[in-house]
């Protein structure tokens, strides 16, 4: 072999020898799956106006950018797609968009992208329709109606929204997926089923692929990791996969592992306070339950912790106020002193009120999944107060209330539509109790039309205190989310109104 050839061969061999350890090191350091993986139940829908569950909300908040967003830590509302949302009277609102925004297909985000999407949500009767008809009360909003008189497009970047009455929380409400925009293509074609299979949004992530096993979202910027939302409805499977490092974030924790999260994950776990609250409410037309003292006795007789840790499998937290703990802005802990389990005080209060005789029916909607905990509460009332408490499932509870057939406490589930204390109180006034105290209802109205979110806190707190005194509904517990995550993931952030923030997840 010639000297030059031999030298080249030696140099080539040296390069191979040098590169081999580098390649081996890279292979060793790179994760088997370079994507960030998140376990979740399959979303019921990916149309933002039809989002019905937490998985859909999480994905929607990654694929779309709403007019506003909510800070998970403080609950504060900040402008996002909107440059401003203003009103002189909290009834007629002017929305101005940031210029230059586009959907992931390159089409522009305009005023019609929002007004057209909102109109479609109400016209098609999607899950978010009630936010327009019953919460915002946009002028002319009726489910199935072809349009809304309260929506007026001024120009490509400006539109006006007129409500039936003043609502200071309207800007905060705009963070819900029901208020997200849709591109002109689908608004024109109305081919909702095709669009929902692989939707196009205006947010930081786009849907790269979708199958029965996973939904893959890739960063629109081309930088950063893709996120694979694995369809894993089983909490045990999620938890086990995260513990083994096979899944980066689990969004469900099985009841049997609640007490071992600290041992299994150290500080890599979190309970996220929710915006849902379950109550037992009292029909105003039932005289024997009209006394606040009787209601207080029933409330103190219920051991909320025993039910949340037993029948409810650690997926709920005992309530200590009428306002859900996930409403960070304006929420106060420990407002319901009568929610603390106190057997002796409960017995004494019921005795002072003259007692209760005869059956005490606990009414609830059949088929909703409340059977186990209602049975547990009935057993507690029988044991603590010697009452003949009986679960009373019914199909059509709302109608039974309207017909005044309900003769005992009944179950109420509420979800705050936006992060403000009044958003938790308003649904209670509409729950069918017949409660009409002018002082409390007036304060709720004052909180709704307050000029600023801060101005609405004080009347809402006063209303809460008044309602806890009369107790038309006793708070029982609030749902919360659980998160556990692997050692390689960072930036796990979540809130009651956003769910897990996929855009903040990073790998070590």
The CATH number of whichever domain residue 360 belongs to comes to 3.10.105.10
In this structure, the number of other CB atoms found within 10 A of the CB of residue 442 comes to 14
Shared domain for 331 and 390, answered yes or no, is yes
Contact 52, 190 (CB under 8 A): no
Shared domain for 410 and 457, answered yes or no, is yes
Shared domain for 128 and 149, answered yes or no, is yes
Identify which of 347, 344, 327 has the alpha carbon closest to the alpha carbon of residue 335.
327
Shared domain for 476 and 503, answered yes or no, is no
Q: What pLDDT shows up at residue 454? A: 87
Contact 505, 62 (CB under 8 A): no
Q: What is the CATH number of the domain that holds 100?
A: 3.90.76.10
Q: What pLDDT shows up at residue 75? A: 83
Beta bridge partners of 151: 161
Q: What pLDDT shows up at residue 453? A: 85
Q: What pLDDT shows up at residue 12? A: 41
Shared domain for 255 and 283, answered yes or no, is no
Count of the separate structural domains present in the chain = 3
Shared domain for 406 and 289, answered yes or no, is yes
In this structure, the number of other CB atoms found within 10 A of the CB of residue 224 comes to 16
Q: What pLDDT shows up at residue 31? A: 52
Shared domain for 323 and 222, answered yes or no, is no
Shared domain for 321 and 433, answered yes or no, is yes
**Given phi > 0 = left and psi -120 to 50 = alpha, else beta, which region is 125?**
left
Taking the whole predicted model, whether its pTM rises above 0.85 is answered as: yes
- How are beta strands 36-40 and 227-231 bridged, if at all? parallel
Does some domain include residue 419?
Answer: yes
Shared domain for 465 and 321, answered yes or no, is yes
Taking the alpha carbons at both ends of the chain, their separation in whole angstroms is: 50
Whole-number Å distance between alpha carbons of 445 and 353:
32
In this structure, the number of other CB atoms found within 10 A of the CB of residue 81 comes to 23
Contact 318, 326 (CB under 8 A): no
- How are beta strands 249-250 and 36-40 bridged, if at all? parallel
Q: What pLDDT shows up at residue 329? A: 86
Whole-number Å distance between alpha carbons of 173 and 82:
13
Does some domain include residue 196?
Answer: no
Helix (H) / strand (E) containing 506 = strand 506-507
In this structure, the number of other CB atoms found within 10 A of the CB of residue 406 comes to 22
Mean pLDDT of the chain: 93
- Residue 422's domain comprises 274-480
Whole-number Å distance between alpha carbons of 124 and 412:
27
Shared domain for 171 and 279, answered yes or no, is no
Shared domain for 407 and 285, answered yes or no, is yes
Q: Which residue stretches of the chain have pLDDT < 50?
A: 1-30
Task: Give Cβ neighbours of residue 180 (< 8 Å, ≥ 6 apart).
Answer: 48, 49, 60, 64, 65, 66, 117, 201
Q: What length is written for the chain? A: 508
């Amino acid at each position: 072999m010639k000297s030059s050839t031999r030298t080249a061969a030696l140099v080539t061999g040296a390069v191979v020898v040098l590169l081999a350890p580098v390649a081996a090191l890279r292979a060793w350091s790179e994760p088997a799956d370079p994507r960030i993986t998140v376990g979740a139940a399959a979303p019921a829908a990916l149309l933002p106006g039809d989002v019905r569950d937490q998985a859909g909300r999480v994905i929607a908040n990654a694929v779309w950018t709403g007019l506003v967003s909510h800070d998970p830590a403080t609950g504060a509302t900040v402008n996002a797609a909107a440059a401003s949302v203003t009103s002189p009277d909290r009834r007629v609102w002017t929305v101005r968009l940031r210029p230059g925004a586009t959907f992931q297909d390159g089409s522009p985000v305009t005023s019609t992208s929002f007004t057209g999407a909102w109109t479609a949500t109400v016209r098609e009767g999607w899950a978010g329709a009630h936010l327009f008809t019953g919460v915002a009360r946009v002028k002319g909003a009726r489910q199935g109606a072809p349009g809304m008189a309260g929506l007026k497009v001024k120009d490509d970047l400006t539109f006006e929204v007129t409500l039936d009455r003043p609502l200071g929380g309207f800007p905060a409400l705009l963070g819900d997926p029901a208020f997200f925009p849709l591109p002109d293509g689908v608004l024109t074609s109305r081919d909702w089923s095709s669009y929902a299979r692989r939707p196009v949004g205006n947010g930081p992530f786009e849907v790269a692929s979708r199958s029965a096993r996973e939904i893959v979202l890739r960063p629109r910027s081309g930088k950063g990791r893709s996120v694979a939302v694995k369809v894993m409805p089983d909490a045990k499977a999620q938890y086990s996969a995260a513990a083994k490092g096979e899944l980066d974030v689990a969004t469900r924790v099985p009841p049997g592992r609640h007490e071992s999260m600290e041992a299994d994950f150290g500080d890599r776990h979190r309970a996220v306070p929710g915006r849902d609250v379950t109550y037992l409410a009292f029909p105003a037309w039932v005289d024997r339950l009209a006394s606040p003292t009787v209601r207080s006795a029933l409330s103190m007789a219920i051991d909320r912790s025993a039910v949340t840790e037993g029948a409810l499998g650690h997926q709920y937290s005992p309530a200590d106020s009428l306002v859900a703990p996930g409403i960070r802005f304006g929420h106060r802990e420990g407002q319901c002193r009568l929610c603390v389990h106190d057997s002796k005080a409960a017995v004494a209060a019921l005795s002072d009120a003259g007692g209760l005789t005869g059956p005490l029916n606990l009414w609830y909607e059949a088929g909703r999944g409340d059977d186990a905990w209602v049975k547990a509460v009935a057993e507690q009332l029988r044991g603590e107060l010697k009452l003949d408490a009986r679960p009373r499932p019914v199909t059509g509870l709302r109608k039974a209330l309207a017909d005044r057939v309900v003769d005992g406490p009944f179950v109420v589930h509420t979800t705050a539509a936006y992060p403000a204390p009044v958003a938790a109180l308003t649904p209670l006034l509409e729950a069918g109790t017949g409660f009409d105290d002018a002082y409390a209802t007036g304060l709720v109205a004052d909180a709704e039309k307050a000029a600023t979110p801060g101005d609405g806190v004080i009347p809402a707190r006063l209303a809460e205190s008044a309602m806890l005194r009369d107790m038309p509904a006793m708070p029982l517990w609030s749902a919360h989310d659980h998160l556990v995550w692997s050692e390689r993931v960072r930036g796990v952030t979540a809130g009651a109104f956003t769910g897990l923030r996929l855009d903040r997840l990073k790998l070590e």
